[in-house]
Amino acid sequence: MYKMSSAIGVVIFLLFVAACEYPGIERAVTAELSAGPAGSIGPGARSKDAASSAKPSGNQASSTQQNGSLEKPLPAGDITIMEKDFFLEPETIVVQPGRITFVITNAGKFTHDFRVKGERIDERSQKIGIGRTQRFPLDLREGEYEISCPLSNHADRGMTGRMIVKRPG
């Protein structure tokens, strides 16, 4: 009985010792109560802010090379898409109508999916495992389409984009 009480006492003592957090980690902020990051806050504005802030800067140049422009849409064929946690790269694609094969790579740490939605079309790829690449062919006419990851609430978190299918000129 005495041994058991002692053991319980030691466990409780160790729990309290493990709960000690003092002195913490000093933070490199001088103001006592500084304001949060600049920019819009509040419902609605938040999700867009959060989604864009999660994306690393510097991928813009590489993206624009492969997603075409309104004046010079990419020819139909293979379109490479990277799915990351939680955004698409590129998020805007301009391409010519025809047989388009999305080459989708899951570069994130969670399973993703790919969806193309527009007038008279709503197609989903198979689920794409971590590090996997999947080819997803579709015949697309001229028009504007929404691309996204339809899994869970990934689209709400920022995994959405736009695809414009149009002829050159």
Tokens at 122, concatenated: 């709503």
Query: Using the rule CB under 8 A, which residue among 157, 162, 164, 166 binds another protein?
Result: 157
Query: Using the rule CB under 8 A, which residue among 7, 9, 46, 98 binds another protein?
Result: 46
Cβ atoms of 111 and 151 within 8 Å: the answer is: yes
34 part of the interface to another protein, by CB under 8 A: yes
Q: Tell how strand 92-95 and strand 160-165 pair up.
A: parallel
Tokens at 77, concatenated: 């064929």
Other CB atoms closer than 10 Å to residue 81's CB: what's the count? 24
Query: Using the rule CB under 8 A, which residue among 3, 4, 5, 29 binds another protein?
Result: 29
Nearer to another protein among residue 45 and residue 121 (C-beta) = 45
56 part of the interface to another protein, by CB under 8 A: no
20 part of the interface to another protein, by CB under 8 A: yes
147 forms beta bridges with 116, 161
Nearer to another protein among residue 96 and residue 148 (C-beta) = 148
